[in-house]
Amino acid sequence: MATVAEITSEAAVASNNNTTAANKNDNNNNLDSETKPTSESEFTVQKLVDMFTKLNPLAKEFFPSSYSKNNPNELHFNNFAVPVKQSANDNFPKRKRNNFNQGRRKLNGRAYRAQQEDSIRRTVYVSDIDQHVTEERLAGLFSGCGQVVDCRVCGDPHSVLRFAFVEFADEQGARAALNLGGTMLGYYPVRVLPSKTAILPVNPTFLPRSEDEREMCTRTVYCTNIDKKVSQAEVKNFFESICGEVTRLRLLGDHVHSTRIAFVEFAMAESAIIALNCSGMALGSQPVRVSPSKTPVRPRVTRPAMH
């Protein structure tokens, strides 16, 4: 069997002979090429084909140095070395890109959007809700349409009334809830429309863990859009002057958002209901938004001093 080097050498000789023969044919204009049974080029091509068929697949040129000779009849992709591109930064560690994890993140993103779209189809938007209507009472109104998964009542800064989002376990419940538009709840007929947004879930660790904490939630309101220049004492004085005694207040903020939020716990549940009417009132330079709180204001845990 011939090797690649031998075949290459023979091909070069044949190519030179073909070039010499072609030059002789050009100089002899009296010869008729059609009278030849086979041309020199056809002969050369056929000769090359014959030579390449003699290649030995087990020749040394076809195998890398890492190939194991113990089993020459079996080829593995792992036996072939992967070329590595050298660069000036080879001495520094590189962070490899994990395409699998990137694909998984994209998949998780698509799955999250699909989950959000499914949640929106199962949610209705309820407006014109009386201030005295609780989330439990609102959920009870829609419980006849299907299983209510979540109910979130929010303060409307542009109205004395409130709005809410009610999420059902399936789309049939949400479609049935649309028929309750115009139902009297308290002193006003509610409006029910398909929701354009899903209910943002609450961290389960923040939800009430006992009956005492559930009772605390009835006395607590959740405030947003609070001016950053307003102090905690000013927030407390604002609600106490209108609603009643404040027993606990938690004012929160960060460097990312332009406003702050607060949880205000009152001594009486009636004060929390009155505080809902404060939604839209100016607190500092911003209109505050007030909604019922789903989480209690837990006392801060004091850590023991280090000795």
Opening angle at CA 284, ends 280 and 289, nearest 5 = 25
Provide the Cα torsion 207, 213, 217, 221; round to 10°.
-80
Residue 253 domain-assigned (yes or no): yes
Q: In this predicted structure, which of 90-104, 142-156, 282-296 has the lowest mean pLDDT?
A: 90-104
243 and 189 part of one domain: no
C-alpha distances (whole Å) from 97 to each of 85, 87, 100, 102 are 16, 17, 9, 8
Q: From CA 202, how far away is CA 263, in angstroms rounded?
A: 14
Q: From CA 50, how far away is CA 19, in angstroms rounded?
A: 20
Q: What is the residue range of 227's domain?
A: 204-292
Residue 144 domain-assigned (yes or no): yes
We report the CATH number of the domain holding residue 165 as: 3.30.70.330
- Reported as a single tens digit per residue, the pLDDT across 121-175 is 999 999 999 888 888 899 999 999 999 988 888 877 667 788 999 999 999 999 9
Residue 171 domain-assigned (yes or no): yes
Among residues 169, 194, 219, the one where a domain terminates is 194
Based on its alpha-carbon atoms, the radius of gyration of the chain, rounded to whole angstroms, reads 41
Reported pTM? 0.48
How many domains would you assign to the chain?
2
Average pLDDT of the segment spanning 26-42:
51
Q: From CA 258, how far away is CA 261, in angstroms rounded?
A: 11
- Reported as a single tens digit per residue, the pLDDT across 102-131 is 454 555 677 767 777 888 999 999 999 988
Provide the pLDDT confidence category of residue 264 given band limits of 50, 70 and 90.
Answer: very high
218 and 265 part of one domain: yes
Average pLDDT of the segment spanning 222-240:
94
For residue 220, pLDDT beyond 50: yes
Q: From CA 11, how far away is CA 82, in angstroms rounded?
A: 31
